[in-house]
Amino acid sequence: MKAARWLFLLALLGVAGWLLVAERGPAILVTDALVVPFEGGAAGLVSIDNPGPPDRLVAVSSTATTAVLYVPTDQTSLPIPTGSSALALDAAHIRLGGSFADGTLIPLTLSFAQAGDVTLQARLSDPTTQGGAEEVGLFGLGDICKVGEGEPAPAISLDVTPEPDGWHIDIKAEDFTFSKDLVGLYHVPGVGHGHIYVGGMKLGRLYAPEAHIGALPKGRHEVRVTLNTNDHRAYVVGDTPVTATAVIVVD
């Protein structure tokens, strides 16, 4: 009888644990947490893997310093699509106050609408410069590459079509060649790769003129693609960045 009671209690605890996980929402994995100092502050960066339904990042905090979400759109929260996304220097990220000594581990808590709180330690990375991205209307921190006289002047446009598990992005590029071979190496005019964002979240690099975005939460979401050099600077023609946007509305 005692053994049967223990088995019954364990079964109840198992059900209670499953219900608790269900209430908190799907598991979201947050990895590669870094804090990158720059003049006047620091940026918190993470990779996010969401294997479940779409979610939203609604707040961030730290017990070590002030922490706020830098959201480069008019939204107050960030969409977390099904699949991979990131807080990055050239996208939405965490703005941190203060300065940090070498070797410091900075605690960060990310609060998701469905998945709840995820707390982790971010390691300090090498300092970076602010770059000229914000000056030309691009997201976050980063360098730009102004197209020189006589060089190819890239241009792009986007088409978005729904798919059963998300959205297909078709990119029409002019005077530009997508290439993975020279990524991270020297600049070749008119050659490079793309960066794709949704609602300010970075989804990754593009080495071909198409992309897939997973399921998105309800609301209006801006998709943006920029063209970048092999050494990751954003192409700028005149004073205008080479970028295109489209809007996805999820009811």
Instruction: Give pLDDT, residue 20.
Output: 33
Average pLDDT over every residue of 7-13: 34
pTM tops 0.75: yes
Average pLDDT over every residue of 217-231: 96
| DSSP one-letter code for 90 | T
pLDDT at 1 > cutoff 50: no
Taking domain 144-250, whether its CATH number is 1.10.274.10 is answered by no
% of the chain beyond a pLDDT of 70:
90
Q: Which residues of 100-130 are buried (b: 16+ CB within 10 A; e: fewer)?
A: beeeeebebebbbebbeebeeebebeeebeb
Instruction: Give pLDDT, residue 73.
Output: 82
Q: What is the pLDDT of residues 13-33, one digit of tens each?
A: 333 333 333 344 558 999 999
Q: What is the pLDDT of residues 57-66, one digit of tens each?
A: 999 999 999 9
Q: Which pLDDT band holds residue 138 (cuts at 50, 70, 90)?
A: confident
The mean pLDDT value of the chain amounts to: 88
Average pLDDT over every residue of 68-72: 92
- With vertex at residue 185, the alpha carbon angle to CA 180 and CA 186, rounded to the nearest 5 degrees, is 115
Matching fold, domains 29-124 and 144-250: yes
Instruction: Give pLDDT, residue 13.
Output: 32
Instruction: Give pLDDT, residue 91.
Output: 94
Instruction: Give pLDDT, residue 26.
Output: 54
Lowest mean pLDDT among 131-135, 149-153, 171-175, 192-196: 131-135
**CATH of 29-124 given 3.40.50.2300, 3.90.420.10, 2.40.128.20, 2.60.40.1890:** 2.60.40.1890
Average pLDDT over every residue of 5-9: 37
Average pLDDT over every residue of 142-152: 94
Domain coordinates of the chain in residue numbers?
29-124, 144-250
Q: What is the pLDDT of residues 90-136, one digit of tens each?
A: 999 999 998 888 778 999 999 999 999 999 999 999 888 878 888 88
Helix runs in the chain, H state only: 2-24
